[in-house]
Each structure stands twice: as structure tokens, then as C-alpha cells.
């Protein structure tokens, strides 16, 4: 895969990439909250954001004169990643962001590395070393701790939205493994993103048509501007994320979820005035320690 090669970049540089992407991605949840402040359809918002990404990527591909691989393997890859990386998780994210605080939605993303490690171990592509298991275990414990109704959820009866949030994490974990296992040969991150975004657009179109969930972007109010902002941030972060998987492996790349969690909590506090209990802060410390215990995989790790 031309996205990168393990060991090519120092660990400190990889952590810097994770922090940068995570902080930006965590901030995008604020814009998602604004985008869903009206009665916009969740799938419709996902469609507009994906369409903008396709336009930007198509222009970039033309400028760089990169051809999109269209082998059977490549098409399967695009469709699979379009489902689990954009169409399904984006629609779920826009759905639950209406009902839960930004910080809580961000926290649920921390389920990604735990699920990714389990998939990687089951497929014998990742090793379950003591440090990795301890790190992922701390992250899992933090999610459980912070998801307790009395600790974080603002109202009773919101468990269903937490479950849907974990489904988002499951989607991204599946996508992590797809990107690591069956990427088209000779394609860089932007090329892969182009194919994945086109596939997601094709998947979302019939859903939005069936739901009559079209978004009128001509108003260009705060919600519509937020949709555009989310699309740009998501595209940049997602491209960096795909590149990082090729460089350091899916489990390490999934640690972005921890940074997104912390950043999302702080963005929600700084901009929306969200406040959390001491138990939530304890959970965040546990996540940070867990992230520190999970290191980039070595070549010997598979």
C-alpha cells in the first residue's frame, strides 16, 4: 500500500499527527451540533457533507493527475469503506448529536480502539501484549465509567443513544480493518478517500430520496455553514487518518478516538458551557493513560 510504511516516521511525529487530527475532529462535533439545531434530516446532512468532499477530492485528483483504481478489489474496498466509514456512522452521529452533549458523543468514540484491537487480534494481525491490553482495558473502563447515567447522561432514558454511539465506534473499527487488509495497490490516501467518498455518496442518495431528506443549502444560515465546515474538517482529518493506518497500523491510528474524546469534552465546555462531574474527569485521565500504553506497532507485530 502506498499510503506509508511502518517505521518510516518517528513515534513522536506520529503522536503529533494523532493530536492534531484528534483536536480538529473533536471540534467538528460542535459544528455537527449546530448543523442539527434545526429539523435537518441526519442522512441529508451526511449526503451534503459527502458531496462536498467528493467535489474537493475530484478537483485534487485532476490537479494531481491521479487515476482512481477500478479493479474489482478496489470497488469492493470503496463500497465497504463507504458504508462503515461514512454513510452509516455519519448518519448515526448526526442522529445522536441532537440528543446528547458534544462531550458525551465524543467520549463514545473511544470505543473504536478497543473494538479495533479485538478485530485485529481475532484476525491475527495484532498482538495482545500486556501493555496494549492494559491500555485498551483502561480505555474501556473509562467509557463504562463515563456512560453511567448518574455520571454523564443529562437525562434518564438516553441509553438508546449511547448504544447508537457505540455502533458508530463499531463501524469505524470495521473500517479500520478493511483499510489495513484490502487497500487497492498503489493508491495514496487522497485517492482512496476519493473512491470511498464516491461510494458513500452513491449509498446515501437512495436513503435520502426515500426519506425525502434533502437539505436546502441556499439559506446558508448557521446550520448550513456548519455543514460545510464539518465536511472540510472531516475530509482533512479522514485523509490523515487513512494515511496513518498505513503508516502505523489500525490499532495505533484508532487512538485518535481518545484525543477526539478529550478534545470534544473541552470544546463542549469552552463553547457550549457543558459541565461534567468529577467521575468524568477521572475517566478522561484513565483514557490518557490508556492511550500512552498503546504504542505504534513494530514490523514484527504483523
Does position 5 have pLDDT exceeding 90, yes or no?
no
Give the pLDDT confidence score for residue 155 in this predicted structure. Answer: 63
Residues 6+ apart with CB under 8 A from 184: 69, 71, 73, 74, 77, 191, 192, 195
Q: What pLDDT score does 51 carry?
A: 94
Q: DSSP string covering 124-179, please?
A: TSS---HHHHHHHHHHHHHHHHHTSTTTT-SSTT-HHHHHHHHHHHHHHHHHHHHH
Residues 6+ apart with CB under 8 A from 23: 259, 263
Q: What pLDDT does 113 receive? A: 74
Looking at the chain, how many residues does it have?
302
**207 Cβ contact partners less than 8 Å away, ≥ 6 residues apart:** 43, 47, 87, 91, 213
CA distance linking residue 202 with residue 105, whole number of Å: 27
pLDDT at 90: 93
Residue 13 neighbours by CB under 8 Å, 6+ apart:
none
52 alpha carbon, distance to own chain's centre: 18
54 pLDDT exceeds 60? yes
pLDDT in the model for residue 290: 76
Give the per-residue pLDDT at 4.
Answer: 44
Tell me if residue 216 falls in helix, strand or coil. Answer: coil
Asked if 247 and 9 count as a contact pair (C-beta separation under 8 A), the reply is yes
**Whether the predicted pLDDT of 253 surpasses 70:** yes
Please report how many Cα atoms fall inside a 13 Å half-sphere around the Cα of residue 150, on the Cβ side.
0
CA dihedral 241→81→107→272, nearest 10 degrees, is: 80
| C-beta neighbour count of 144 within 10 angstroms | 11
pLDDT tens by residue, 106-157? 877 777 777 887 888 888 877 778 888 888 888 778 777 766 766 556 666 6
Asked if the model's pLDDT at residue 283 lies above 50, the reply is yes
Given this model, what pLDDT does residue 299 score? 46
Does the predicted model carry a pTM greater than 0.85?
no
Amino acid at each position: 500500500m502506498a499510503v506509508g510504511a511502518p517505521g518510516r516516521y518517528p513515534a513522536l511525529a506520529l503522536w503529533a499527527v494523532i493530536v492534531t487530527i484528534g483536536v480538529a475532529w473533536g471540534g467538528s462535533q460542535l459544528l455537527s451540533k449546530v448543523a442539527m439545531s434545526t429539523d435537518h434530516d441526519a442522512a441529508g446532512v451526511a449526503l451534503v457533507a459527502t458531496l462536498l468532499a467528493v467535489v474537493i477530492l475530484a478537483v485534487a485528483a485532476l490537479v494531481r493527475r491521479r487515476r482512481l483504481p477500478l479493479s474489482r478489489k478496489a470497488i469492493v474496498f470503496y463500497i465497504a469503506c463507504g458504508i462503515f466509514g461514512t454513510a452509516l456512522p455519519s448518519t448515526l452521529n448526526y442522529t445522536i448529536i441532537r440528543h446528547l452533549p458534544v462531550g458525551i458523543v465524543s467520549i463514545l468514540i473511544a470505543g473504536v480502539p478497543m473494538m479495533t484491537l479485538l478485530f485485529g487480534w481475532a484476525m491475527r494481525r495484532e498482538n495482545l501484549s500486556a501493555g496494549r491490553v492494559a491500555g485498551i482495558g483502561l480505555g474501556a473502563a473509562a467509557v463504562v465509567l463515563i456512560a453511567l447515567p448518574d455520571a454523564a447522561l443529562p437525562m434518564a432514558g438516553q441509553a438508546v443513544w449511547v448504544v447508537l454511539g457505540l455502533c458508530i465506534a463499531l463501524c469505524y473499527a470495521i473500517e479500520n480493518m478493511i483499510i489495513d487488509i484490502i487497500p487497492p495497490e498503489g493508491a495514496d490516501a487522497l485517492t482512496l478517500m476519493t473512491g470511498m467518498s464516491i461510494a458513500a455518496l452513491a449509498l446515501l442518495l437512495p436513503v435520502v430520496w426515500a426519506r425525502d431528506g434533502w437539505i436546502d443549502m441556499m439559506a446558508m444560515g448557521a446550520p448550513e455553514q456548519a455543514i460545510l465546515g464539518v465536511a472540510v474538517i472531516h475530509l482533512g482529518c479522514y485523509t490523515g487518518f487513512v494515511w496513518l493506518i498505513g503508516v502505523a497500523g489500525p490499532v495505533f491510528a484508532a487512538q485518535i478516538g481518545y484525543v477526539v474524546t478529550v478534545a470534544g469534552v473541552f470544546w463542549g465546555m469552552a463553547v457550549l458551557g457543558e459541565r461534567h462531574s468529577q467521575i468524568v474527569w477521572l475517566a478522561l485521565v484513565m483514557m490518557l493513560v490508556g492511550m500512552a500504553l498503546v504504542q505504534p506497532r513494530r514490523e514484527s507485530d504483523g
